[in-house]
Amino acid sequence: MEHYFAAYDRHLSKFRGAEVHILEVGVYSGGSLDMWRSYFGKEAHIYGVDLEPACRVYENPGTRIFIGDQADKDLWSHVIREVPRIDVVIDDGGHQPGQQIATLEALLPHLQPGGVYICEDIHKSGNLFLSYLDGLSRNLHAMHLTDSTVNMPVNSNELQRLIDSVHLYPYLAVIERRSVGLDRLEAPKHGTEWQPFLDLSSH
């Protein structure tokens, strides 16, 4: 969809011209592989995943194709062994919530710091993948206090240490992995002493 392109550029432009390792789920006729090569440049390493063995025809020195079902954990175990670095994931595969969830759970922890995870074609408001993302996003706001007060700082949870942000666009989700560590969430207090309001009655 054409409105995806602005979101792609917003989140992926930082990788252009650099050595980037991009994995796309859903090769189909191979056109998007050429598009990514053109967008990211000659330093890009591109990996495609598809159910159709005939997609291997798109392999070349800068592009490698894996064949399998994106809902299969064994497929992702194999891919992770073969591709130790992943900077960008684009899930344009089967578009079924179960497949999208399985792919996210397998690949997000292996995304490089500062990496970007994109899932396309999330249709209908009741989509179960959207519900999954909602739960994931809610955990970004979890607060585990370090003492009996309600004040910061608090220790970050595993998700807060992993994910920097979650973005939603029409039919598209983007998750950005944190580029630097986050052990604690700090919010220094300012103006903690009570200052009574000015008495303006004499003016």
Number of domains in the chain: 1
Alpha helices by DSSP H, the chain? 4-12, 31-40, 73-82, 97-107, 128-139, 158-162
Assess if residue 139 is contained within a domain. yes
Residue span of the structural domain in which 43 resides? 4-178
Assess if residue 183 is contained within a domain. no
Assess if residue 203 is contained within a domain. no
Catalytic residue among 21, 45, 95, 110: 95
pTM of the model: 0.83
Confidence of residue 195 (pLDDT cuts 50, 70, 90): low
Which CATH number does the domain housing residue 117 bear? 3.40.50.150
Instruction: Give the mean pLDDT of 126-144.
Output: 84
Confidence of residue 42 (pLDDT cuts 50, 70, 90): very high
pLDDT tens figures, 159-171: 777 889 999 999 9
Beta-bridge partners for 156: none
pLDDT value of position 82:
96
Assess if residue 117 is contained within a domain. yes
Q: How far is CA 120 from the centre of its chain?
A: 12
Quick check: is 95 catalytic?
yes
Assess if residue 201 is contained within a domain. no
Q: Are 130 and 101 in contact (CB under 8 A)?
A: no
Assess if residue 143 is contained within a domain. yes
Instruction: Give the mean pLDDT of 66-92.
Output: 96
pLDDT tens figures, 1-31: 678 999 999 999 999 999 999 999 999 876 8
pLDDT value of position 144:
62
Q: How far apart are CA 48 and CA 38, in angstroms?
A: 16
Assess if residue 188 is contained within a domain. no
Assess if residue 52 is contained within a domain. yes
pLDDT value of position 152:
56
